[in-house]
Structure 1
Amino acid sequence: MPNIAHLYFRTAIVFLLLGVAMGLHMAMSGQHNVIGPHAHTNLLGWVTMALFGGYYALNPAKAESRFAGIQYMTYATGVALMTVSLYLLYRGYASLEPVVAVSSLIVLAGIVMFAVIVFGREPVANPVRGEALRH
């Protein structure tokens, strides 16, 4: 699996571009009705993902765990679903409200998983084998 820190940074850039595009569209059209999705895209997509990536870059042993990969997929999927469904909800597609709710719960699950990683015991390097061990 690719480096989780790099995945988070790359995904964050995609969300930054999307959030800026939403902001530019609002500015050019004079219609600011998607300010909520714009804010969620920038905060949960750009800022939070970049912070997650920074944490994983500073804690490479934790970033190499299978659980970190699952956490990335959970959080990124939730934010992607939330961004699209929230944008469409604000554009008048009221039937997408349940998708927004479910995607919000997926995002929450990704955040809880990240908290488990952050508060979990620190792996320590085994100088003989060069691998991470739990202490």
Structure 2
Amino acid sequence: MNPYEAERRTLLTPVLLLLLAERRGHGYELVRRLADMGWRDAESAHVYRVLRGLETCGAVTSHWDASDHGPARRVYALTHQGAMELALWFVRLGELHGILHVFLERYVQLTDATGCGDDRPSAPPTDPASAAHMRRMRK
């Protein structure tokens, strides 16, 4: 696993807490809601591992919901402790947001100063997605 994937996996905890604060849900529904947020590569096995960990530490509870239309599903809900943890994540991610904003601004300035596609070692590599993001940042 590369460092980028590890960072995204770490962020799965607060995102799942947020989704459960919005409304309870079963695992596959949470995976779908993650995809709706743009998190299309969330592995269901990892989502279930994180949910089990959150349940073990008391941030979420679960119960089996028997349905007439299919197999029973484990439905997860946020606890009071989970709501407090979500609030702490909000503060931590807010601080990180400020740092990331400065980073992104400085990266855009660097690419403006060095020129996109420059062959110098100091010039950051760019791809179409990065270039599009930088154009949005400049606006």
Structure 1 length normalisation: TM-score?
0.33
Structure 2 length normalisation: TM-score?
0.33
| Larger-Rg structure | 2
The structure richer in strand per residue is 2
Q: Which has the higher contact order (CA 8 A, sep 6+)?
A: 1
